[in-house]
Structure formats: C-alpha cells, structure tokens
Structure 1
Amino acid sequence: MSSQMVRGARRRLGVVASGVAGLLVAGMMVAANAQAATGCRVAYAVSAQWPSGFTANVSVTNLGDPINGWALAWTFPSGQRVTQAWNAAVTSSGSQVTAANVSYNATIATNATVSFGFNGAWTGSNTAPTSFALNGVACTGEVGGTATPSGSLSPSVSPSMSPSVSPSTSPRPADPMATVAAMQPGWNLGNTLDAIPDETAWGNPLTTQAMLHYVRSQGYNSIRLPITWSNHHGPAPDYTIDAAWLARVRQIVDWSLAEGLYVMVNLHHDSWQWINAYPNDRTNVMNRYTALWTQIATAFRGHSAKLVFESINEPQFAGTSGDAESDQVVQELNTAFVRLVRRTGGDNATRLLVLPTLHTSGEQARLDALNATFNQLGDPNLAATVHFYGWWPFSVNIAGGTRYDSNVEQDLVGTFDRVHNTFVSRGIPVIIGEWALLSYDYTRPGIIERGEFLKYIEAVGHHARTRKLTTMLWDAGSFLHRTELRWRDQGIYEMMKASWSTRSGTASSDQVYVPRTGAITGKSLTLNLNGLSFQGLWQGSTSLTNGTDYTVSGSTLTLTPAALTRLVGNRAYGVNATIEARFSRGAPWQIGVITYDPPTQAAATGTTSAFTIPTQFRGDQLATMEAKYADGSPAGPANWTSFKEFWSNFQPDYAANTIILKPEFFAEVNDGAVTLTFHFWSGTQATYRITKSGTSVTGTT
C-alpha cells in the first residue's frame, strides 16, 4: 500500500513463541578516523528455529561517536544463509554476510540502538556466528578498537551462549496467510472509538467486556477497532496522545485479546480530517503521522501477535492531479508506517501490518499500486486491505437497484477475483476490512429489502471463503444491539454465520403476496439451490406436505391454493404467516405470506420543504420511485436515471400512511409537471403527478 517477492511457496508456519532460542552478545569497534571514539555492542538472538529454518533478530548499539551509514559483517560457521530480511539490506557471498542500513536507519547516535531481523535456512546445525565487524572494524567490547582483516574476526562471545533450541519443539515464525485466515470472520466496533469527539458521541454505548465476550461467543474471531486520534493528542511538535484516551484504547484492546479475539487498530477518520492534506503539507502531516504511529506502536510493542496494525482507513487526498498521483501518496504513507512501526522493536519487528489501497478500492489500478508497495518493501509480515459495499445502485437503492441481480453478482465476483489474483494467489493475505451495504440501516427500514440483502450476505460469504479472503462486517449499530446483547435481526446473523462455512439456499423472493379479496390461486417462487438439495417447507415445527401444500418441479416451488388459504387466515393486511424452506445445508429461507390490496393515493398540497402524499399501503411495501418530466427525461437528483435514491429523495411512513418527498428531491426539480411512478413489492405500480411552482407543490392522482 524490487523484484517480485515470491510468497506463495512460503510454508505456513506457526506463531512465534515468547522464548528466545539463543542470545549472543559481541562487543565491536567501529572503524572511523583516528580522532573519533568508536565502539559498539551486538545482540544476536535466534527467536525461533524449526527443521531447515530459523528467525534471528540483531541489535547494534553504538558506544562511540554518532555514525551515519553502517554495514555489519559476519560469517556463518555452519553454512546458514539469509532468505529474507527486514530493516536492513542483506547481501551474501558464500557464508559471509553483510547487513547494511536502509534509508530510515542509517544514523546511529551515541548509545542508540538499531535493529534488524531475518529468516534463514540451515542444514546439519545452526551454530550462531561468534564475531562481527561494523564498517570493517572488529569488536573488542571497548571504545577505541582497531581494524581487523575481513574473514579473521576475533570472537568475543562465549561459546556457552550458542543456540540450543530443539528443532522438534521450537516455535515457528508467524505466517501472515495463516494469521489472516485465523481472523475470519471479523467484526467492526463501528462508530465508537472512531466517533468524534468521543466514544459515545454517535449514539453507541460505552464498550464493555460483556459486549466483547458476546461477539466472541457468536463465532467472531477478530475485531477491528476503528480509532480517530485527531481529537485526542496535543500540539506539535510532539503530538502527545492523551494518556486517558490511550489507556481506554489499551483497555479495549486487552479485553478483546483476553476473549481470544485478534484485534486490528488504525488511524480512522484522521484520513479525511488531516492526513488528506499531505500532498500540499508533507512535512507537517508526516511529522504528525510519525509521532502518532510511533507512540501507538511503542505503547503496544509488547502485546500479543494477535494485535494487528492498519496504517490508514480509506486514504483520500486533496490537491493531487488524480488517482495515479494519489496512489504514490498512499505508497509514501504506507512505507513510512511499516518502517516506523518496525523500528520501535519488540514484537513490532514481526507484527502483522495491514496496508490499504487508495480509497480501499478494489479497482485493478489501485491493487496494482499497492502490490508495487509490497514488492518495494519486501517485508514478509504484511497484508492488504480493501473495503466492499457492493454494487452502488443496489447498495443505496438508486437507478432501480432493488434486487440482488446479475449486476450485483458480477461486481462482487469481479472485485473478489481481482484481490485474490493480485494478492492471495501470490501469498499475500487480504482482509476485507469493512463490508455491508451502504444504506442498510435499522433506523431507515425498507431501503434494502430483507430477502435481497440475505442473498447478498450469502454470496459475499461464499465468494470470500472460496477465494481465501477474511471479511470484517461493518457494524455501526445496525446488526448487534449492544445494550441488550442480541442481534437486531436473528435471521440475518444466521445467514452470515452459515456463510462462514457453507452455502445456503435462497429463492427469487422472500415474499408471497395474496390479494385480500377474490379467489386465491397458487403462487410460485424460483429456488436458488446453490448446489444444495431442497428438504421441504416448514411452518414453525410443522412440516408442510409435499403434493398437498406445495409442489416442486425442477427449481420451481409452488404453494397450493389450499395451503395459502390456510396460511392467510382472515386475510388481514400484512404478513399473515411465515414459512421457511429448508435445504441440505446452511440457513433456512424464510418466506412471508402477505395479504394486500393495491395501494391508493390522494391529492395533496404543500411546499418543497414539506410535502407528503397520502398513501394507503394496504399491506404492500414500497420498493422504489421514478420521476420524469413531460418529455420523459429524468427529474430530480441523479438526472442520469429516472429511479430516485430511496430515503434521501423519498421515504415511506407506514404508520402515518404517507410518502414523504424530501427537500433534497425538490432542490433539483424544475418548475412544472413531474410524473411519479411508485413501484411496490407486490408488483403494483401507482402513478402520481406533482406540479412545482417556486416553493409551492400540488399533487394529484
């Protein structure tokens, strides 16, 4: 977010254990001019070893005058070789190895320490090197050493401190693919620590241990903690994070880890509050960015490897020439993030770091730009992240996007294929850091029809699972009732849960509409088996009878007139009964049996700021609205489509028996006549005509 780093062939390894396999300390002298004081220490630690491989960490402490530019040389005594390094540029010639500084750690002040690490390969034995040279000068452990010929460095390490880890019991270094796989599924604590100015400002309650325990008990393995830091730190140049805020973040992180959850933290709304100014204010933004991430990384460097850092949420920028330049800006910030976190040491040396694309977009150009960053960094412990909110017309219900159709499916499959092919197929794990639909919101019911949303959920789970993508549900309060610790819609949760491991069957609709008057006829739905077999229909615990209550022909399920007559009862408007189709695996498909009559509307007068259409819904539900001028061209906002955006332009109020036309709709409607067509889920359409004159509006049927 060099040459192509081959990750796919890397073996899946276990998590690094806390024990250090071996520690070697060498005093060494730094070659300098005759007047400079020189000297340093080296700590070489084998932190993990397994048959044929190991991980080592090296720390160099400068005891003399400051140096700018360093190269550490040693000889492996047992023919080991370095296979991958971080925080240093490592070259080898036979058993002789040189690790040189990279751009961000070239300077070592007096008594300062620089660290780097590497993965290595070994056969036979893994004896630690016993002598080192910095900038060509052998170590003596005292200030004022002299140069020693290359290849004959005098040892200053006790042989008794050589590694003695048994390959059969040693922990293995973390495998980022395995780590990200273990994070599936994930859940976002949305609109909480990211809320401005504080945790409860956007309507959610304070986070509790009980809530985190509930999330874990429901099968979630990871939690993303979006955090906005901009209101919780001091001024330049230190940008010191408020102690109370950092303590609260630490508390929630620790509670989550104690529940066994992986945890991902980030800079969240900082992205649009101040990071977006980076192209035109590089120094100030980078100083602030560096200060914050250095403090965060330092505060958590001793935490479990199950804590993951994500650089920036949805990076976006002002003042660039376009996406190509913005891609470069993201690369600069992602690169700085990786390097500054790594140099804080501790467990941050190998902690999984997550890098986003520009806008966390799944477009191929954005993915390619992030892939170039991975290649440049050459860091083995990185993951990519994008966000996914579905095909936009369906996600917000505009342009007739009311159903989970082929457009939605193609957008989903295309996005997930791109991220899989760009990253996962090459051994780079991917986290879908946020997913849902943009306008699914329990406070705005009806924008997304429930059954269509269930199909989307089922498909997201299936396509993510088969492409080895980890998904993290964006939940700002619409799914989990955080006070009562229950799901607001249990059926939606059950569909999500099933999708983590298998497919579920669905149908062309989750609604069957039966007229309130007249003869009742059979009603058919098309089953989407998704490779499963249909097992029957149930009403509660009662099995309906095949042949009497329903028939199945191929993928067509038909409810008989007799069954529908029984299910609708007295034929009161609305849902009279709920039945469910069961399949060989997965969640059942609920079907509401609804009595209705075509909705009716009446004339009205009002203004552009307050206009409602009297509507008797009579058991039906509104799907969408069209608006056209007399010449047939679209009226209102988004003038490229006649189908207007649900809720932002129009809103049903079922309790008041009205449809509200919003000021935002009238703001882009010309004076004159407009024909509205209301589409209902029963299939009924109602035509209504409005006339706008200045701020006055009249309506007729």
Structure 2
Amino acid sequence: MSLQDMLRNNRRLRSGLIAGAAATLVAGLGIVAAANASAAAGCKVTYSAPSQWPGGFTANVNVTNLGDAINGWTLVWNFPSGQTVTQAWNAAVTQSGAQVTARNVSYNGSIATNATVSFGFNGSWAGSNTTPTSFVLNGTTCTGSVSATTAAPTTTSAAPTSRTPTSAAPTTRTPSSPPPAGNAMAAVAAMQPGWNLGNSLDATGSDETSWGNPTITAALLDNVRAQGFNSIRIPVTWGHHLGGAPNYTIESAYLNRVKEVVNWALADGFYVMLNIHHDSWEWMSNMPSDSTVITKYNAIWTQLAAAFRDSSSKLVFESVNEPQFAGNDNTQGNTLLNQLNTSFRTIVRNSGGNNASRLLVLPTLHTSADQVHLDALAGTFTAMNDPNLIATVHYYGYWPFSVNIAGTTTFDATTQADLTGAFDRVYNTFVAKNIPVIIGEYGLLGFDRNTGTIEQGEKLKFFEYFGYYARQRKLTTMLWDNGQHFGRTSFVWSDPELIGQIKSSWTTRSGSTSSDQVYVSRTNAITAKTLTLNLNGLSFLGLRQGSTDLVNGTDYTVSGSTLTLTQSAVTRLVGSRAYGINATLSARFSAGVPWRIDIRTYDPPILSAATGTTGSFAIPTQFRGDQLATMEAVYVSGGNAGPQNWTSFKEFDYTFTPNNSASTITLKPEFFAEVNDGSKVQLTFHFWSGTKLTYFVTKSGSTVTGSLT
C-alpha cells in the first residue's frame, strides 16, 4: 500500500474540515484493550456553524463513538451565548435554558465502534454565536479518548502523538446498520435527505474534471456528510470508458476510480446510489434502431454487478438516468424502458452476493411524474414482484417558473399546484401501495443560468414548500448539485439562505411574506408599506433589524395576515435614501428560518437609445435601485415576437439578461434569431418595483437599432 493510499484510508480517523466556526474536541486517540471491562466509553464531537446570518445560523454536529457499540444515544451541551435551537433534523432536540439535549431518531440510534452519526439544526442568536466546547454522550464527556466504565482494562496502548500512517491496517468507520432486507420503505426513509455528486463522474469528456469541477476528494464527501445528508447519488457516464464489442469492457482504471469514490461514501455512512447517467441520451436513446444498445447496456451492468457484488447493502443501483428514446411515442418508449429495467434487475439479482437483495431503483420514462409514465412503471413493478425495488422521478418545478417565462415570476398558486399534483400522483401510484419513491434530482432549471433568473424570495418559497410537501408524501429527496451549490474545495454553500431553507424544510415549515423586498420611491413622499404574512401554520413573533427588535405598534402593526411598516419606521430605515438596499429586516416566526426583507430605495429606471448587432446588443440602463423581473416582446404590427412566441413574455437569460453593475440589459442572439427582419418590436420591461418601461428595437440584417419611440 502506498503512502498516499494509507493517507486516504486514515482520513476515516478525522471529520471533514468545515468552513465557519468549528470546534473539534479531541484529546488523543488512545486505544484500550478492555478484556475485563464490560463497557468501554469514549466519544468525539465536531460542531460547526457553516451558515450564519443576522440573528440566525445553521449548525452541524458529528458524533463519533470511540467506545463499545451503543444502541440509543443522548448528547447534551450548553450554549455559552444564549443561542436557541429553532428546529433540527436527524435528531430530536429539546432545550431548557442554555442546556440542549439531542436524542437519536428511529433510524440512527445505533452507533458502532468508530462510527459517526450526524445531525443538524437551525438556531437563533443575539450579540454573539460562541461555539460550545463541551459535549456529553450518554453520560460520558467527549474528550476524544476511551475509558472503561465498570472495570480497569488489562492493557493499554499509548495514545499516538501524530497521524503519520504506518504499515498497520488503518482504523475504519463502520457504517450504521441499514434496515433489514425487504424493508425498502424504511431504507428509503433513512436515505432522506440526499445529495447529487453532479457533473463529475457523469461528465461526457475524458475524465471527471472535463465539465469544470475539480477531482472528487474524500474530504468533499466528509463535508457533504457533515451537512446532514444521509444519501449520495453518484451519477456515472460509462460510454467513454468502454472497450469494443462484444464485451464492452469498462476501463479498469475508471472502474477502480468509481469504486474508490463509492467506498469513500460508504465509509462515511452514506447510502449510495450508483447509476448509468448521460449514456441515456448519448447512445441509449438510439434503441431499438441500434441493436448494440441492449448488448452494451447489459455488459455494463454485468460488470458493475460483479464489481460491487459484495459491497454494503447501503449501496443502491439505479438502472438509468432520465431514459429517453428518439422517435418513439409514450407507449413505445415505456415498452423499451420496461425491457431495460427488466434486464437490469435480472442481471443484478442473478449475480448473487448482496445483489440478491440489493435495493434497485427504477425510473419512469424521462423520470416524469406524468400519470401515463407512472402507470407504466407500476406495471413493471407488478410483473417483477420484488420487495426491494424503488421508484424514482425528478422534479425541477413548474417549467414557466423554473426558467422565468410566460410572466411566471412568483411562486404562485399554479406553480404550487404543479408540485402538489406531481407529488400526489407519485404518492397514490407507489407510496400508498408500500413502494418507496426517491426524487432523484430536484432544483430549478434557472440555477444553471443567471443567478437572478428566479427572484430570491420566490425561490426560497418554492424550496420551503417542496421540502414540506415531500415530507407529507413520504418522498426522499436528492438535491441536484453540479458544483453550483456546495463548493467542491471550499466546502461552503454559495447561497446560505437557500441551504438554510432547504435544511429547515426537512423537519418543519418556515414563514414568509408576500415579498422579500419593500420598494420606497426616492422622489415621492414616504408612506407606510404593507406586506402579507404567509404563516404556513406558524405564529408571527416579530421583526428584527440586526440584533434590535422593532416595536409592535410603533414600528409595525399586524392585522390578520397584513403586516404594515409604519411611515416613521420606513423613514428611519431608508435613511439618506441612497439607491438600492438601505436596510434589512428579519421576520421571525415560531419555527423555521427567519425571513429576510430588504428595504430598497428606487426611482424608475432610465433606458437609452443604442445600436449594435444581433450578436451583441445592449441597452444602456440606469437601474436606479430597481431590479428587472421579466420582459415582453411583441411586433408593433401585431403578434408575439422572438422565441417561444406562444407567449409575449420571454425567457429570462435565454433571450435577455440584465446586468445592474454594468448598467445594461442585453438582448441575446437567441432572441434576434427568431425576430422578423425589418419588423419593429416593442419591448416592455417589468421591474420588481412595479415600474414598466417601453423600448423599441428593429433588426435589419445583422444590425439592430434601439430607441425609446
């Protein structure tokens, strides 16, 4: 074994480094041989607060049992700065004064020797957020060492002074025991929540970095686990690493690399979902016209089944990602998918070992939640009569909201109904019949474009409701992350508000208001401002600016669901009335994360005439504190202009992109590609303040002229 290999293995002796406030309580790694002791006890706790905002924070706690295996655990600590836990996940947390008590939940009560369990919580703070320094597990103070509680040990090895690897086999972390075979519902419940290692091993280039992400490391998986995720989906594209017919042998180096990453994840205690990913559209979509598809598919799964035959039962196989077949309607497509799913199951089950009862995940066509595809997959499940099967679909939201098109800029009733409809259909088709379901990917399509495609507050409302309703329908969810959410080397979330809302939704609801923005005109007289409270079954506790509570009756009033900021409070909050955000408030509710409200000063934006080309055209824009919500495009002569002309409202960042710092609104080549030459187009820009501005563009060949009239 090389030094590098031993260093990788010894990583199991540490917890991943977490950005933010962290305290690792380790006083040594003494190993006790307790031949006469009936109960050796010892523990290590790593506490981190990777996300923090005014008045609130998210914390992660990793508890490693260094003593004898325990069944049922209670962890106690004291907050040094008056912090309060507001909700938790993967543990039942209560608080009395400064003392906090966390107890295991049904699926994580057992901690084997050297195994780790993780839980997390959201909390509130005022003044400071000092890290706690002492933790007690089942009555034993966690010092990082082991002691016998009933008899002295017969021999003791000295605590090592360094982490330098030796030739001895490294200490490994034993994953917690999964639910018994055949209890697929319990296993899938234990997989909640999940995370996708996207755009790495599924890259369609020569290696895992070809789509821009760095090489996967053990530290990355450690840190993802520390965030409270219990399962990880590892998408893999295999077609670029296969030999020729008839064997289609997987390159040994590539297969070994996948095995290495899978084993890292299993060692961290994850449930792991391994699949065939972008092969689905690269070559599998040619089925049935290409007779080699099924042969190649069978060859891949035959090799994977053999390679992972004896792996932990916490490794789960997914037959294929987002299956699709060119030139086939729903009936033909579902028939072809049934052929692949059936072949997949037969190969895995016949390979023996742990594969005989391994959990297998089968998708619908396109991983769609449309009833026709759910029914087709349900028929496959009936024919297979296998208790260890899981259904999977993906959900990226109501499409007009997910990409900001057709004027759907808010999480409105239609957007919510699309979500509840999809989850209800999945529940009724599968979960109600004791067949578990995993939402194998979820997110918003706008994530892959401009960060302002979906307005922040509306985005947070979507994810709050998504997590809540998934819990109602007993669905396990796996966040799609292609590197845009959790930093692959920084281990920091790019949007702390988003992940705070997602984590909160795993266990409770959060409140909000009708908008996270209050616009105050710079030139008009200041007036009181109203917002509608979305209580979501909670109680409104009050408003806070930083660590200062606003005064009910003086700074704001509440009447039913109407929250009003008084004129005097608005006047104080906008101060000198500089353009943009003048103040930020935090609306607090009886549970969940606080809701941020920005107080913004604005004047109507100013657009200017411009000339350019279809490949490069930007409208000079003085935003003056405002933000663009959407754009309409119609021909002056009548009819909708530009792409997707079934609507006048164009797709954000596909046809237009605002840039507040550069003071421009760019019309993209994709927009002009579908604008009639010589026709004058009227654009209407809708801003979040409610301001609407009109602008005109005319395309003449590759030349574009823009004017105010």
| TM superposition score category, shorter chain reference | 0.7 to 0.9
State whether residues 504 and 587 of structure 1, in contact with CA within 8 Å, keep that contact through their aligned partners in structure 2.
yes
How is 1:322-361 mapped onto 2 (pairs within 5 angstroms)?
A: 322-361=329-368
Q: 2: distance between equivalents of 1:496 and 1:235?
A: 44
Q: 2:421 aligns with which of 392, 396, 414?
A: 414
For 1:213 and 1:569, locate their aligned partners in 2 and report how far apart those are by CA, in whole Å. Answer: 46
1:491 is matched with which residue? 497
Stretches of 4+ aligned residues off by more than 2 angstroms: 169-174
Query: Residue in 2 aligned with 1:403?
Result: 410
User: Residues 279 and 319 of structure 1 are in contact (CA less than 8 Å); yes or no, is this contact kept in structure 2?
Assistant: no
CA distance in 1, matches of 2:180, 2:288: 41
Among 429, 433, 438, the alignment partner of 2:436 is 429
CA distance in 2, matches of 1:506, 1:373: 42
Residue aligning to 1:251: 260
Contact 1:279 1:318 in 2 (8 A): no
Gaps of 5+ in 2: 1-176
Q: Per the alignment, in what secondary structure is the counterpart of residue 639 of structure 1?
A: coil
Counterpart of 1:377 in structure 2 is: 384
> In 2, are the aligned partners of 1:423 and 1:430 still within 8 Å (CA)?
yes
Describe how 1:8-87 pairs up with structure 2 within 5 A.
none
Deviations 1:543-567 (CA, angstroms, capped at 9, x unpaired)? 1111111111101111112222222
> Which whole-Å CA distance do the structure 2 matches of 1:379 and 1:279 have between them?
27
CA contact (8 A) 2:178 2:313 kept: no
1:619 aligns with 2:625: yes
Query: Match for residue 237 of structure 1?
Result: 246
Aligned to 2:183: 175
Give me the whole-angstrom Cα distance separating, in 2, the residues matched to 1:296 and 1:326.
25
CA distance change for structure 1 residues 481 and 440 in 2, over 3 Å: closer, same or farther? same
**Take 1:471 and 1:299, find their aligned partners in 2: how far apart are those partners?**
27
Using the size of structure 2 for normalisation, the TM-score is: 0.74
CA contact under 8 A between 2:403 and 2:651: conserved in structure 1? Answer: yes
* Percentage identity across paired residues of the two chains: 63
**Structure 1-normalised TM-score?**
0.74
Counterpart mapping for 1:509-524 below 5 A: 509-524=515-530
Correspondence for 1:455 among 451, 461, 484: 461
Q: Which residue does the alignment assign to 2:226?
A: 217
**CA-to-partner distance for each residue in 1:532-581, whole Å, 9 max, x for gaps?**
00011111221111111111110111111222222222221111221111
The match for 2:563 is 557
Q: Distance in 1 between matches of 2:506 and 2:387?
A: 27
The one-letter amino acid paired with 1:179 is A
Equivalent residue for 1:473? 479
CA contact (8 A) 1:280 1:319 kept: no
Equivalence for 1:287: 295
Aligned pairs, how many? 530
Q: Partner of 1:572: helix, strand, or coil?
A: coil
Q: Offset of 1:170 from its aligned partner?
A: 14
* Matched residue, 1:572: 578
Deviation at 1:519, TM superposition (A): 2.1
CA distance change for structure 1 residues 632 and 528 in 2, over 3 Å: closer, same or farther?
A: farther
Paired residue for 2:271?
Answer: 262
> Aligned-residue CA RMSD in angstroms?
1.4
Q: 3-state DSSP class of the match of 1:252?
A: helix
Q: What is the alpha-carbon distance in structure 2 between the residues aligned to residue 486 and residue 562 of structure 1? A: 39
* Structure 1 residue 173, shift from structure 2 partner: 2.9
Cα distance between partner residues in 2 of 1:679 and 1:435: 28
Partner residue of 2:682?
Answer: 675
Deviation at 1:319, TM superposition (A): 3.5
Greater Cα radius of gyration, structure 1 or 2 = 1
3-state SS of paired residue (1:418): helix
Q: CA deviation at 1:281?
A: 2.1
Instruction: Find the counterpart in structure 2 of residue 694 from structure 1.
Output: 701
Q: Is the 8 A contact 2:178 2:314 kept in 1?
A: no
Partner of 1:548: 554
Q: Which AA in structure 1 matches 2:547?
A: S
Alignment partner, residue 85 of structure 1: none
1:184 correspondence with 2:192: yes
SS of alignment partner, residue 210 of structure 1 = helix
Structure 2: distance between partners of 1:652 and 1:229: 39
**Unaligned 5+ residue runs, structure 1?**
1-168
Counterpart Cα distance in 1 of 2:185 and 2:303: 27
- 1 CA distance for matches of 2:454 and 2:497? 15
Local SS of the residue matching 1:496: helix
Kindly state the Cα deviation for residue 172 of structure 1 after the two structures are TM-superposed.
Answer: 4.4
Deviates more, 1:515-524 or 1:494-503: 515-524
Instruction: Tell me which amino acid in the other structure corresponds to 1:570.
Output: S
Moved more, 630-639 or 523-532: 630-639
Q: Tell me, yes or no, if the aligned pair for 2:275 and 2:318 is still in contact at 8 Å.
A: yes
User: Which string of whole-angstrom CA distances, capped at 9 and with x for unpartnered residues, describes residues 478-504 of structure 1?
Assistant: 211222111111111110001001111
Shift of 1:364: 0.2
